Amino acid sequence: MTRPEDATPTKHPPRKAPQRVQKVDVGGADKLVMRKGREERVANGYPWVFSGEVYQVPPPEMDGQIMPVEDARGRLLGLGMINTKSNIVLRVLTRQREPVDRDFFKRRLTEAIAYRERYAKLDPSPNAGYRLIHAEADGLPALIVDRYGSFLVVQALALGIAERMPMIVELLAELTGCKGIYERSDVLVRNLEGLPQATGVLYGEAPPADLVIEEHGSKFRVDVATGQKTGFFLDQRLNRQRVRELARGRVLNTFCYTGGFSIAAALGGAEEVVSVDISADAIALAEENARLNGVEAKCTWQAANAFDALREYEKAGEKFDVVILDPPAFTKNKDSVPGAVRGYKEINLRALRLLNPGGLLVTSSCSHHISPAL
């Protein structure tokens, strides 16, 4: 019989100190709080906060207002505009606590305009066309402002900016001295913000139907009211200049729209420019642009489906020294990426087959779901 004093004592593991559960302030009507582990992108400068990244979406009556966003530890990530109707629940305006008022927007607009006009001296014509305000890139989320000579064309792509448009228009008129400001907020992305389509004159005069802009010595008539985007593809401005420098021999421009790349090539070293677009109205405007620049003798135009035209040129054994592909977006969402990839593969492969040895392919994509690597 073992005496109690002879028994081996039972070893119990040391008791752990009770852990304190960190309570997270989930926000509400006064702020957004990002879920733990989801804040890194925004902390590193990403300008959008998605509804699935926050603990609690604020009530709808906060839509359009300025609200702080914090991480789960209560550290400020920024101030931005709220929209509970959108998957992008907050668009960051600033990374510090400061009044987001008229003076704030005036300062941001002034800085962006000064930045653009400094580089616009490369094209000093008073009738030049270029992007004046570039949304998130200028700390003004969802605001696009394009300058066409003495006129501005604006797009408001999110609720917060749309609600502040009267103030923004007033500031733009004051800062630029423009003759008129026209709205082209007729884009599908506004549906995702719970906003209707909107077009029309917001200030001063309406842009004339025969509005002509200048770009690196070339001239283009711009249809501000009904043209693609805000009337012209200003994002290809520097690429058109580069094509003008490189063009030679026989050039094919597909998805040519109103002939931006075609005119650039014809004013450069091209001997012949063949251009294709599915829109007869765009082709008519392109022909007018060729006459404006005195290159109509070099240019031929075809209103046709570019996919069909590329097949026909290949079948006929046609050859070119430069082929330009500037198609519209083949995909607007991730689900249609496989089909878009097939489309990009087809047009690029056919374009390569049409090139003479040593020829140049100029290829573009405006589908943001298609990565450069893909």
Active site residues: 366
Task: Work out the end-to-end distance of the chain between its first and last CA atoms, rounded to an integer number of angstroms.
Answer: 80
Residue 369's SS3 state is coil
Number of H helices, E strands in the chain: 9, 17
Alpha-carbon torsion (230, 236, 241, 244), positive or negative: negative
Residues contacting residue 143 through CB under 8 Å, at least 6 positions apart:
133, 135, 154, 155, 156, 157, 161, 168
Contact 81, 161 (CB under 8 A): yes
Contact 182, 202 (CB under 8 A): yes
Distance CA 125, CA 355 (A): 36
Contact 153, 224 (CB under 8 A): yes
Distance CA 323, CA 253 (A): 6
Contact 106, 92 (CB under 8 A): no
Residue 341's SS3 state is helix
